Amino acid sequence: MELLGVGVVALVAIAFTTVLSPRLGVASPLVLVALGVGASLLPFGPEISVDPQLILAGVLPPLLYAAGVSVPATDFRRDFRSIGALSVALTILTTVLMGAVFYWMFPALSWPWAFALGAIVSPTDAVATAIVKRQGVSPRLVALLEGESLFNDAAALVLLRAAVAATASAVSLWTVAVEFVVSMVLAVVIGWIVGRISLWVRSRMTDVTAATVFSFAVPFLASLPTDAVGASGLVAAVVAGLVSGNGAARRLSPQVRRSHQQNWHTAELMLEGAIYLILGLELLDTIEDVSQDDLGVLFAFGAAGLVLVAVLVTRAAFVAPLLVVQRYAARRSQQLRPRLRRALRQPGPAAGAARRAARWLRRGRPAIAHESRVEEVKQRIAQTGADHGLLLHSPLGPREGGVMVWAGMRGVVTVAAAQTLPSDTPGRSLLVLIAYLVAIGSLAIQGGTMTWMLQLLRPARAATPEELAVESAGLREVLDAAVEDERQHLRETRARSRGRRAAEEVDRADPDTVSPTDDQGFPVSSESTAADEDRDHRIALIRAEREALLDVRAIGAFSSAALAAALAQLDAEQIRLEL
């Protein structure tokens, strides 16, 4: 009963913190940590002891899966190289350099344990992304930060596992590198398979609640087998989330997608909040244990400050050359755009060419192999043109680079990873406290000043009202074309069935003909039949509009936010008609 009471209080705290923290101007994780610390000071405060493996295997997979589902696949594909550099290369670099810092601070610590600590403080947190997104910055910058926080968590934990394993036996750098690559590749393959299978299963479930319940098992269906073969279950959970999120619009009904979105957002909120509450509850006990250490609590605070500065410097040193590469890519895009327009044999911007290419693809799907191949090439050219248009209209300059550096906060994964350190780790309490302080300090300093930093740097903003109006008009053009094509298809279908309808008219004129009835045997009026036909006709048009939006989404002619809003409107209308 005591544990049940603690759970109820925790849910209430998470709910009120989520509502109040934006009004207070304080990140909700900091409020939850403070509440946890306050609860631990109470004489009747709960004594919570959580198995670290429960967090690693039971909490992180669904958290990362939920993040993967919500990431727009088109945005992820466009900046895949930059996201890969930030989430993998920067994570490795940070692990190595922070390992050297820890080895310098703790001479008695072996190199594997130092690298393990470096891996713990290397991943960034998604809290900064939420803050940046609320401030209305460029969607491309948000996508980069989201993609980085998605995969660097898994990469850091793979490195942590390899470093901890190296403490028990001598392994070479080559062995660790091979294990890292094999772990990632196996995880991607298994995650992709599980994501595809989960879409197939849920598309055949007519019960919305049952489909949602099954979705809660998907991250574990991806992570548990992957862990069993020695690969990264967290990477598998992320990939399964990306596959599920990208394919849901085509494979799942609007009711199922709406239910998944709401329930997964709730689960994500509860799991993240629980981790920060646990951090607050354990913080004072950890400080008490460290106070008995020779180095003491003040040393832990100083070490955490040094690590936090070193992490920011490392991130800045990595982001600077990344911006140089982005500027080169933008200049190359400027040179290639005229060629892409000529290749499509159509004047105008790349987005317009992409819309035309998508419309060509929707019209009939040519039966001749050669024509089909030509249309596929046109789609690829249009996609490339839209990608280059993004590089030109959403550049990454020094201002955006400053935001990327300051948004690299440490958070939930650092806290969870620190708790997974084995009990025989040398000076475990001190090292765990340092990791806790790095996460708390990062959230307090960087998160608390993020709004001020955005006002100072003034990075590229989201689309202006005028740009949104142009984009809305372009989307309306796509939807109108899809509706016209579907209506033409319905007219042709009706024309081919006129003979059958004429026979049905004769049957209805026969007095011996039985009137149509519904499932319960009651006669169906002509007005009811006409209403059903009108509803089915409108649903068919909605499905055609949705297919058109998904076609242009694959090309990347419009922003993910605009497409998501348009898809949500279509889903809401279809749900209303099907009720």
- Of 397, 393, 404, 401, the C-alpha closest to 333 is 393
What would the mean pLDDT of 309-336 be, rounded to a whole number?
A: 82
Residue 563 or 14, more confident: 14
Say what the pLDDT of residue 521 is. Answer: 47
**Residue-wise pLDDT tens digits, 154-166:** 788 888 888 887 7
Neighbours of 504 (CB within 10 A): 12
Given a contact cutoff of 8 angstroms between Cβ atoms, the answer to whether 143 and 165 are in contact is no
Does residue 48 carry a pLDDT above 80? no
C-alpha distances out from residue 563 to 75, 135, 396, Å: 12, 20, 23
- Of 418, 437, 438, 424, the C-alpha closest to 52 is 418
Does residue 511 carry a pLDDT above 50? no
Q: Based on the number of CB atoms within 10 Å of its own CB, is 197 exposed (0-12), middle (13-18) or buried (19 or more)?
A: middle
**Residue-wise pLDDT tens digits, 98-112:** 999 999 988 888 888
What would the mean pLDDT of 71-91 be, rounded to a whole number?
A: 83
The band of 38, judged by pLDDT with boundaries at 50, 70 and 90, is confident
Largest Cα–Cα distance in the chain?
A: 102
Given a contact cutoff of 8 angstroms between Cβ atoms, the answer to whether 315 and 353 are in contact is no
Amino acid in position 175? T
- Of 404, 412, 434, the C-alpha closest to 87 is 404
How many whole angstroms separate alpha carbon 33 and alpha carbon 38? 9
**Residue-wise pLDDT tens digits, 516-538:** 545 444 454 555 566 667 777 78
Does residue 502 carry a pLDDT above 70? no
Q: What DSSP line would sit under 278-312, residue for residue?
A: HHHHHHHHHHHHHHTSSSHHHHHHHHHHHHHHHHH
Residue 364 or 261, more confident: 261
How would you write 227-271 as a 3-class SS string? Answer: HHCCCCHHHHHHHHHHHHHHHHHHHCCHHHHHHHHHHHHHHHHHH
Residue 523, strand partner residues? 517
Does residue 365 carry a pLDDT above 80? no
The band of 369, judged by pLDDT with boundaries at 50, 70 and 90, is very low
Say what the pLDDT of residue 312 is. Answer: 93
How many whole angstroms separate alpha carbon 538 and alpha carbon 543? 9
Given a contact cutoff of 8 angstroms between Cβ atoms, the answer to whether 87 and 150 are in contact is yes
How would you write 517-541 as a 3-class SS string? Answer: ECCCCCECCHHHHHHHHHHHHHHHH
What would the mean pLDDT of 473-486 be, rounded to a whole number?
A: 82
End-to-end Cα separation, the chain, in angstroms: 41
Q: Based on the number of CB atoms within 10 Å of its own CB, is 118 exposed (0-12), middle (13-18) or buried (19 or more)?
A: buried
- Of 196, 9, 42, 27, the C-alpha closest to 128 is 27
Q: Which two tokens stand for residue 556?
A: 């990347």
How many whole angstroms separate alpha carbon 72 and alpha carbon 146? 10
Say what the pLDDT of residue 476 is. Answer: 83
Q: Which two tokens stand for residue 134?
A: 């609320």
The band of 216, judged by pLDDT with boundaries at 50, 70 and 90, is very high
* Gyration radius of the chain over CA positions: 28
Say what the pLDDT of residue 273 is. Answer: 85
Q: Which two tokens stand for residue 516?
A: 């149509």
User: Average pLDDT, whole number, for the chain?
Assistant: 78
What would the mean pLDDT of 469-483 be, rounded to a whole number?
A: 80
Residue 447 or 504, more confident: 447
Neighbours of 495 (CB within 10 A): 8
How many whole angstroms separate alpha carbon 19 and alpha carbon 260? 22
**Residue-wise pLDDT tens digits, 242-261:** 898 888 888 888 888 888 88
pTM of the model: 0.79
Quote the percentage of the chain above a pLDDT of 90: 13
How many whole angstroms separate alpha carbon 1 and alpha carbon 78? 51
Alpha helices in 394-525 (DSSP H): 398-406, 412-419, 428-442, 448, 450-457, 465-496, 498-509
Q: Which two tokens stand for residue 462?
A: 């989201």
Quote the percentage of the chain above a pLDDT of 70: 77
Residue 384 or 57, more confident: 57
Say what the pLDDT of residue 96 is. Answer: 92
Say what the pLDDT of residue 350 is. Answer: 43
Given a contact cutoff of 8 angstroms between Cβ atoms, the answer to whether 403 and 323 are in contact is no
Say what the pLDDT of residue 360 is. Answer: 47
The band of 345, judged by pLDDT with boundaries at 50, 70 and 90, is low
Amino acid in position 427? G
By mean pLDDT, which of 158-167, 192-201, 262-271 is the weakest?
Answer: 158-167
By mean pLDDT, which of 363-367, 467-471, 499-503, 573-577 is the weakest?
Answer: 363-367
Does residue 18 carry a pLDDT above 70? yes
Helices 90-105 and 139-168, packing angle to 10 deg: 50
Say what the pLDDT of residue 348 is. Answer: 43
How many whole angstroms separate alpha carbon 552 and alpha carbon 577? 25
Given a contact cutoff of 8 angstroms between Cβ atoms, the answer to whether 184 and 158 are in contact is yes
How many whole angstroms separate alpha carbon 65 and alpha carbon 498? 51
Say what the pLDDT of residue 537 is. Answer: 79
Helices 208-228 and 60-70, packing angle to 10 deg: 120
The band of 370, judged by pLDDT with boundaries at 50, 70 and 90, is very low
**Residue 137 three-state SS:** strand
Given a contact cutoff of 8 angstroms between Cβ atoms, the answer to whether 232 and 226 are in contact is yes
How many whole angstroms separate alpha carbon 238 and alpha carbon 152? 11
